[in-house]
Amino acid sequence: MNALAPLVQSGAIPIDGCGSAPIVQERGQREVFCGLTGIVWLHRKIQDAFFLVVGSRTCAHLIQSAAGVMIFAEPRFATAILDERDLAGIADIDDELDRVVGRLLERRPDIKLLFLVGSCPSEVIKIDLKRAAARQSRNYAPRVRILSYSGSGIETTFTQGEDACLASLVPTLPGEAANAPHSLLVVGALADVVEDQFARLFDELGIAPARFLPMRRAADLPPVGPNTSYLLAQPFLGDTARALEERGAQRIAANFPLGEEGTTNWLRAAAQAFGVSDAHFDKATAPARARARQGVERHRATLAGKSIFLFPDSQLELPLARFVSRELSMRLIEVGTPYLHRQHMAPELDLLPDGVRITEGQHVDNQLDRCRAARPDLTVCGLGLANPLEAEGLATKWSIELLFTPVQGYEQAGDLAELFARPLTRRARLEV
Ligand code: SF4
């Protein structure tokens, strides 16, 4: 199920990064989930959307096992499995796909937005899903909007699925009305509870209108245009950001809202873009900041001074490294990221301690060797690496948990710290 890309080129090439941090480029075998994984959190977010993976049995197993907890819910994702008949080219794939979509929409009149999600098998790659989505959209308009994107492991790592999904939505957003006021668009899937907290904070700050992408209902597409300033809530949305800028929106550069400091910097960047005074900002955020600091403080004794090694997986690694080093005094050994968007990450790179090893890309064997040699107190990595490292006596944290758990914002800062503390306390208990 893991997408194992071919060995492209081994070795590491240091290049200059933003700020003073040198960034080492690594090329080799990768060990990450594919972009289909994003469906697991996206299907919960847009409540009347449906994700139809066009793929193989492997794809079906991946999302079923990753989303197993949702088994009793009304399913909002499925896999159209291409069987051998299709693969032999006997059936016309376009007709087959139209038939599957027709059957699905007939059975599920609640679906208002359907994503056709591409995958790896060569027969799927040959299908022009974009054209199929446009054709079907015409057939089912205006009842259902049909879009497509790729979640293939050849093209995407696991958080890039969300980027591809949101980027496919951007061209469908309505334009701003003439003379539209300056508006804020928060971009990136957040748990509803977190989104509600941020909406309240923007309201208290006097930042309005403040909207969110993805939206909760398919019909509530936020308008976009030159009076829109957008603020990324997730660090893996390079394509979505580009698509928004093509529509005239402007990015607010900021840290990501992880931890008390990250959340404050993120909100402050928005406040400054909307002319909110420092005094009002401080007054509106002070109680929540104090709660966040308290929440984090509870886990300091467990984590301060402990060493941590982050494998490249979710693209959350740089903001997480900033959080654990600055708010929990953990010692960074290595921070890997599958891709590094230098502009979006500049505020994070600026806050990392000098001399930390930052890598972009992956050569999994070399990274494992370095991790084993360093024997960190905590290793953040994908599921595939966690078990072997645990068996070797290393404490691990699954990076995917950081995506599935609400961790952004002030009220969640303590929970985020706890996610790092839990493997260490569990291990300490076992040792006792
Ligand atoms: Fe595997 Fe590719 Fe399907 Fe992902 S999209 S589950 S990597 S076959």
Give per-residue pLDDT as tens, 113-166. 999 999 998 888 888 999 999 999 999 999 999 999 999 998 888 899 999 999
Please answer whether residues 328 and 417 qualify as being in contact, where contact means their C-beta atoms are separated by less than 8 angstroms. yes
Q: What is the mean pLDDT of the chain?
A: 90
* Encoded tokens for 53: 């993976």
**Which residue's CA is minimally distant from atom 8 of ligand 1?**
120
3-state secondary structure of 356: coil
pLDDT of residue 15: 45
Contact status, residue 248 vs residue 226, Cβ threshold 8 Å: yes
**Cα 101 to Cα 129: distance, rounded to the nearest angstrom:** 12
**pLDDT tens-digit series, residues 231-268:** 999 999 999 999 999 999 999 999 999 999 999 999 99
- Give the residue among 420, 427, 365 at the shortest CA–CA distance from 390: 427
Do 233 and 201 form a contact (C-beta atoms < 8 A)? no
Tell me the best of 32, 52, 58 to mutate to test the pocket of ligand 1, counting ligand atoms within 8 Å of each CB and taking the most.
58
DSSP E strand boundaries for 252-306: none
Beta strands in 119-251 (DSSP E): 145-150, 183-187, 210-213, 228-232, 250-251
Compute how many other C-beta atoms are within 10 angstroms of the C-beta atom of residue 141: 10
Read off the pLDDT band of 47 (50, 70, 90).
very high
The amino acid sitting at 347 is P
Candidates 52, 65, 79, 119: which one to mutate for ligand 1, based on the most atoms within 8 Å of Cβ? 119
Largest alpha-carbon pair distance within the chain?
69
- C-alpha 398 – ligand 1 centre gap (Å): 20
Provide the 10 A C-beta neighbour count for residue 20: 11
pLDDT at 87: 55
> Over the stretch 84-118, which tens digit does the pLDDT of each residue have?
565 555 568 888 899 999 999 999 999 999 999 99
* Cβ(33)–Cβ(1) below 8 Å: yes
Measured from CB, residues less than 6 Å from any atom of ligand 1 are 1, 3, 34, 36, 55-56, 58-59, 62, 119-120, 151-153
φ and ψ of 247, to 5 deg: -90, 5
Atom of ligand 1 at shortest distance to CA of 119?
A: 5
C-alpha 405/C-alpha 402 separation (Å) is 6
The answer to whether 255 and 347 have CB atoms below 8 angstroms apart is yes
> What residue type is 339 in one-letter code?
Y
Which residue CA neighbors atom 1 of ligand 1 most closely?
1
Separation of CA 147 and ligand 1 centre (Å): 20
**Whether pLDDT at 42 is above 60:** yes
CB 334 within 8 A of CB 313: no
330 versus 86: which is more confidently predicted? 330
The two tokens of residue 224 are 């976009």
Ligand 1 centroid to 155 CA: how many Å?
A: 10
Which pLDDT does position 67 carry in this prediction?
65
Count the residues in the chain.
432
